[in-house]
């Protein structure tokens, strides 16, 4: 099965784009994760469709990966196919006040393109360490802005392998959720609608947000970004801090001393360390405040 499956994969895309037993710690911002059986790098929509159709035919699990932020991969890795839509599918095009980009484009690159073209409205995303695809699926946001403020159209692949263009009103964008995620669609490209602005003011806003991030967030350590979703009426980081867990560690994983909303890979942490730390923190916060913490970080593989 393995040999036949591999040969079918290299029929769909070139051999250099199909990696075997690829360590996932090389592809996640946590720098954690065991090997994936197959790791593929499609160059276009047809290759994406071909790989997914093959996985479904052979009943092989698959997972769509961007730049690996917001993700904790098991120490045992992933028994299936990781489809990375990142560097190969990251084209960005400016169309008047709109920007059309493929889902592998980094949000920071889209924000830089907006600045270069004097377009305002995307500054909030300039420091989010992810790709457009992940941002669309979870309606990413920061500093008072979120994707639903600017997103006007998403081209996605449905479960049936049909390419569908979804307009804003069909996207059902809520707090860290969208129809794309709920229905298990695969985002391929998206359009954001911005406004003409003053490039100096846009740059000043981006610089200010960058300054706030670097002084308040533990960017010097590998992490997956914010670890828990914001519970209604509270801030996860504040609850964790008030539970007395600043700097709390399990193995090489630690609650950041700089910002309690972040779990960091302080010293060769394993996925098991991080998962145990998250569980312990959730239990203690709920015991003290009666507020359940829901992970924002996705887990992949066996835990």
End-of-domain residue from the set 87, 109, 130 = 87
| 244 and 231 co-located in one domain | yes
> What are the start-end ranges of the H helices in the chain?
2-12, 45-58, 107-116, 132-137, 179-182, 199-216, 236-242, 271-289
Task: Look at residue 245 and tell me if it is in a domain.
Answer: yes
CATH number of the CATH domain containing 144 = 3.30.465.10
Task: Look at residue 212 and tell me if it is in a domain.
Answer: no
Residue 100 catalytic? no
| 94 and 82 co-located in one domain | no
| 106 and 186 co-located in one domain | yes
CATH number of the CATH domain containing 17 = 3.30.43.10
Residue 176 catalytic? yes
Task: Look at residue 182 and tell me if it is in a domain.
Answer: yes
Task: Look at residue 213 and tell me if it is in a domain.
Answer: no
Task: Give the predicted TM-score (pTM) of the model.
Answer: 0.92
| 154 and 71 co-located in one domain | no
Task: Look at residue 258 and tell me if it is in a domain.
Answer: yes
Task: Look at residue 130 and tell me if it is in a domain.
Answer: yes
Q: Which of 22, 47, 146, 296 is catalytic?
A: 296
Q: pLDDT in tens for each of the 303 residues of the chain?
A: 689 999 999 999 999 999 999 999 999 999 999 999 999 999 999 999 999 999 999 999 999 999 999 999 999 999 999 999 998 999 999 999 999 999 999 999 999 999 999 999 999 999 888 999 999 999 988 888 999 999 999 999 998 889 999 999 999 998 888 999 999 999 999 999 999 999 999 999 999 999 998 999 999 999 998 999 999 999 999 999 999 999 999 999 999 999 999 999 999 999 999 999 999 999 999 999 999 999 999 999 999
In a 3-state reduction of DSSP, which class is residue 294? coil
Residue 178 catalytic? no
C-alpha span between 104 and 125 (Å, rounded): 15
Q: Which of 223, 226, 256, 282 is catalytic?
A: 226
| 74 and 42 co-located in one domain | yes
What is the residue range of 60's domain? 2-87
End-of-domain residue from the set 166, 201, 236 = 201
End-of-domain residue from the set 87, 109, 140 = 87
Q: Which of 8, 31, 79, 176 is catalytic?
A: 176
DSSP letter assigned to residue 164? E
| 82 and 160 co-located in one domain | no
Total H helices, total E strands in the chain: 8, 19
CATH number of the CATH domain containing 267 = 3.90.78.10
Number of structural domains (the chain) is 3
| 109 and 189 co-located in one domain | yes
Task: Look at residue 29 and tell me if it is in a domain.
Answer: yes
């Amino acid at each position: 099965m393995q040999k036949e499956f591999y040969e079918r994969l290299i029929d769909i895309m070139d051999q250099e784009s199909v990696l075997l037993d690829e360590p996932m710690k090389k592809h996640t911002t946590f720098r954690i994760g065991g090997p994936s059986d197959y790791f593929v790098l499609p160059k276009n929509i047809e290759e994406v469709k071909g790989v997914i159709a093959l996985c479904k035919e052979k009943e092989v699990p698959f997972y769509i990966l961007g730049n690996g932020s917001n993700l904790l991969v098991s120490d045992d890795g992933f028994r299936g196919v990781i489809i990375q839509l990142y560097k190969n599918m990251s084209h960005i095009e400016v169309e008047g006040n709109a920007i059309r980009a493929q889902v592998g484009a980094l949000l920071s690159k889209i924000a830089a393109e907006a600045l270069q073209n004097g377009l305002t409205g995307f500054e909030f995303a300039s420091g989010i360490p992810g790709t457009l695809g992940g941002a669309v699926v979870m309606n990413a946001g920061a500093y008072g802005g979120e994707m639903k403020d600017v997103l006007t159209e998403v081209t996605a692949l449905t479960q049936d392998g049909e390419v569908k263009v979804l307009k804003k009103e069909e996207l059902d964008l809520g707090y860290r959720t969208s129809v794309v995620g709920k229905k298990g669609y695969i985002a391929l490209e998206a359009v954001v609608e911005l406004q003409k602005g003053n490039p100096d003011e846009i740059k000043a806003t981006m610089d200010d947000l960058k300054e706030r991030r670097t002084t308040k967030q533990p960017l010097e350590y590998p992490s997956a970004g914010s670890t828990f979703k914001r519970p209604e009426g509270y801030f996860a980081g504040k609850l964790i801090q008030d539970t007395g867990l600043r700097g709390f560690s399990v193995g090489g994983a630690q609650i950041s001393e700089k910002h309690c909303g972040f779990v960091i890979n302080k010293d060769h942490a394993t996925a098991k360390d991080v998962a145990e730390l998250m569980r312990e923190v959730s239990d203690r916060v709920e015991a003290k405040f009666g507020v359940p913490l829901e992970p924002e970080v996705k887990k992949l593989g066996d835990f």
